[in-house]
Structure 1
């Protein structure tokens, strides 16, 4: 294996490893905030299980849809925790 190939491979490996170390730190500074996502702007699957991907919410501020927000800001945005969202969904049934 040439020196150039080794350098490219080791650089790629270092990048992958660094990404793995940075992601958990970023996740710790965020929290899921339910009921604030606009239609098509949710971050991932919803509590009701009707979809499992980002960008699939059908209506604004659905209680089962969420977005990541800076930790500690969800209440300021009039959002809910997962438990609060489940309770809100149960009341609608």
Structure 2
């Protein structure tokens, strides 16, 4: 009886992880990186300059090298930049 419970639990966990991964992939597809809108400590991952590689490490608000995920098509409305625009702004 215990073996059947363990196997059933493992199977259920594997199925749940598969669904979570699929949902995350779909969610990511509906979003885009928006540079220059992240507040200090609220960026989503590594910055353009490579000075850090983790979320939550932005030092200042609205740095052009930091980004957040936003719904596709909303970046410009939020005052954000594309990756190309952010790179050009950083060169100045």
Same-fold call, TM cutoff 0.5: yes
Q: How far apart, in 2, do the equivalents of 1:17 and 1:50 lie?
A: 33
Partners of 1:76 and 1:51 in 2: CA distance: 27
Q: Does 1:5 align with 2:6?
A: yes
Aligned partner of 1:61 in structure 2 is 62
Who is 1:76 aligned against? 77
Partner of 1:25 in structure 2?
26
Root-mean-square deviation (CA, aligned residues, Å) is 1.0
Segments of 4+ in structure 1 off by > 6 A? Answer: none
1:38 aligns with 2:39: yes
How far is 1:22 from its partner? 1.3
Q: 1:60-86 deviations in whole A, cap 9, x for unaligned? A: 100000001111100000100111100
Give unpaired runs (5+ residues) of structure 2: none
How far apart are residue 6 of structure 1 and its match? 1.2
Residues 35-88 of structure 1, C-alpha deviations (whole Å, 9 max, x = no match): 000111111110000100111111110000000111110000010011110000
Provide TM-score, normalisation by structure 2. Answer: 0.94
Residues paired across the two proteins, number: 91
Q: Matches of 1:36 and 1:21 in 2, distance apart?
A: 27
